[in-house]
Amino acid sequence: MKIHKGKLLEVQRRIAKDERVTHVYDVTGEWDSIVVVRLRTTRELDAFIKRLGSMEYVENTYTQVVLNVVKEERRVLL
At residue 14, the pLDDT reads 97
Is 18 within 8 Å of 26 (Cβ atoms)? Answer: no
Q: Which domains does the chain have, with CATH numbers?
A: 2-60 (3.30.70.920)
At residue 62, the pLDDT reads 95
Give the DSSP letter of residue 29. Answer: S
- Please report how many Cα atoms fall inside a 13 Å half-sphere around the Cα of residue 30, on the Cβ side: 3
Q: Which tens digits make up the pLDDT trace of 32-46? A: 999 999 999 999 999
- For range 39-63, the mean pLDDT: 96
Q: Which tens digits make up the pLDDT trace of 5-34? A: 999 999 999 999 999 999 999 999 999 999
Torsion of CA 37, 42, 48, 52, to 10 degrees: 90
pLDDT for 77 beyond 90: no
pLDDT for 76 beyond 90: no
